[in-house]
């Protein structure tokens, strides 16, 4: 178990203002690194995330014999293709990153390697059968430990499948699509609810034939193909921008701008929720030069009112739902989130952690089997909360601290290193 520290966050005594940039998008960084590793030639990626999760992906690739140079936020990867990946001398350590483990399983399913993927205790508690099942159907040998890591993977000759996702998951979709690049025939994923589409955008941009259809369900198909080497820039992570924008919505009189942030339509649902809550939201797109749309987002405080989030909205909001709960505590009426069972199997049980933390601050919050309810407006107190080592909860509680009546001590705020290592100084710069 990783040691945690207790960090005090003071209430905002004045409106938040100014502009900031956030780290490169984690989801995009993972995918660019993994694809570059099997794209023969030299790929250069600027703005690559320095988050612990993305460092885990680079570590896994290095253990597979992929040469990687790094200078600040820029990396250069010498892609070796699937056939020149080396058998690792040890188990592949994915740290705390479920994205690393699931996507690496998909990428390596079509290799000739026999290996084991493991990670920190937090990762070892997360479900992996959801990615193992479709990879087995394609022809890989995948063994889990009672449905969880460590995962033993023996790659092999793959055949394309049509697979309907039982649970909306961009990670499972991406793993199957990456495996499909080494499979005979067509590999098709069917989604009842569309999830983030970074993988198919990147593959299409790299001249891999990707076909999409919207009925019945959303269907994404790939064929056996070899991506090309590339140069690209990773936009700012909208999920890292979210707590800063939520802070602007929470503190009266505030207005905050996040520059050069990703505006992928499958990731901007939180901006729509902020507007429904009553915040003022302004989006300024930039010219597109890569696979992802980019721009600036400004959020200003408004009179907050409760919202309801249903199952169809959850996949596009999964990382931001703890922030919805915090803002719900500051809003007039009952904010209700349903269809979010997935929150219980993230880095922590985020439903239990969020509700417990909000109650500790004096909010009226209750767990649902698949979500939560928060009734406001509440007068949040200071005191102490435990983020249970979960970076999303830690950032959500930091936002709550800004609107509290006294200082809030947050146990485990150091976990923000998983996604946003500079979160605390960036937040402080807006005071």
Which residues belong to the active site? 319
> Which among 193, 187, 166 has a CA at the least distance from the CA of 266?
193
> Which among 123, 137, 315 has a CA at the least distance from the CA of 218?
315
- Those residues whose C-beta lies under 8 Å from the C-beta of residue 272, and which sit 6 or more positions away, are none
Helix (H) or strand (E) holding 9: strand 6-9
Tokens standing for 38?
């099997």
DSSP assignment letter at 429: T
**Distance (Å, rounded) from C-alpha 112 to C-alpha 159?**
15
Helix (H) or strand (E) holding 135: helix 129-138
- Those residues whose C-beta lies under 8 Å from the C-beta of residue 253, and which sit 6 or more positions away, are 14, 15, 301
Per DSSP, the three-state class of 145 is strand
**Distance (Å, rounded) from C-alpha 384 to C-alpha 13?**
19
Cα 93 to Cα 115, 192, 396: the distances in Å are: 11, 32, 28
- Beta strand segments in 129-246, E: 141-145, 148-154, 158-159, 162-164, 183-184, 186-191, 210-213, 218-223, 231-233
């Amino acid at each position: 178990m990783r040691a945690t520290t207790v960090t005090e966050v003071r209430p905002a005594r004045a409106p938040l203002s100014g502009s900031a940039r956030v780290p490169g998008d984690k989801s995009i960084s993972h995918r660019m690194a993994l694809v570059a590793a099997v794209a023969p030639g030299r790929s250069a990626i600027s703005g690559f995330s320095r988050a612990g999760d993305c460092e885990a992906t680079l570590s896994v690739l290095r253990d597979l014999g992929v040469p990687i140079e790094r200078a600040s936020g820029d990396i250069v990867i010498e892609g070796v293709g699937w056939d020149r990946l080396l058998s690792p001398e040890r188990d592949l350590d994915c740290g705390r990153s479920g994205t690393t483990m699931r996507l690496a399983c998909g990428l390596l399913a079509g290799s000739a390697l026999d290996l084991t993927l493991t990670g920190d205790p937090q990762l070892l508690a997360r479900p992996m059968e959801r990615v193992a099942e479709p990879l087995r159907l394609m022809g890989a040998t995948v063994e889990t430990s009672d449905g969880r890591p460590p995962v033993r993977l023996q790659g092999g000759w793959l055949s394309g499948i049509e697979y309907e996702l039982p649970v909306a998951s961009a990670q499972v979709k991406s793993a199957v699509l990456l495996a499909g690049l080494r499979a005979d025939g067509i590999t098709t994923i069917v989604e009842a609810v569309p999830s983030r589409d970074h993988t198919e955008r990147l593959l299409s941009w790299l001249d891999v034939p990707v076909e999409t259809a919207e009925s019945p369900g959303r269907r994404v198909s790939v064929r056996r193909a070899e991506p090309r080497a590339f140069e690209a820039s990773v936009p700012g992570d909208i999920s890292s921008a979210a707590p800063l924008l939520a802070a602007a919505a929470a503190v009266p009189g505030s207005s905050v701008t996040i520059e050069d942030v990703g505006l992928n339509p499958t990731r901007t649902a939180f901006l729509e929720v902020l507007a429904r809550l009553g915040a003022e939201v302004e989006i300024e797109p930039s010219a597109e030069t890569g696979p992802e749309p980019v721009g600036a987002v400004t959020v200003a405080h408004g009179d907050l009112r409760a919202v309801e989030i249903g199952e169809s909205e959850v996949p596009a909001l999964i990382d931001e739902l703890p922030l919805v709960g915090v803002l719900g505590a500051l809003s007039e009426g009952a904010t209700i989130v349903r269809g979010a069972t997935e929150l219980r199997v993230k880095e922590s049980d985020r439903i239990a952690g969020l509700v417990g933390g909000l109650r500790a601050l004096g909010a009226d919050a209750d767990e649902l089997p698949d979500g939560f309810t928060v009734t406001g407006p509440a007068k949040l107190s200071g005191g102490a909360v435990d983020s249970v080592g979960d970076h999303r909860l830690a950032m959500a509680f930091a936002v709550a601290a800004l609107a509290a009546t006294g200082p809030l001590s947050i146990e485990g705020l150091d976990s923000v290193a998983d996604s946003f290592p500079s979160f605390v100084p960036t937040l402080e710069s807006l005071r």
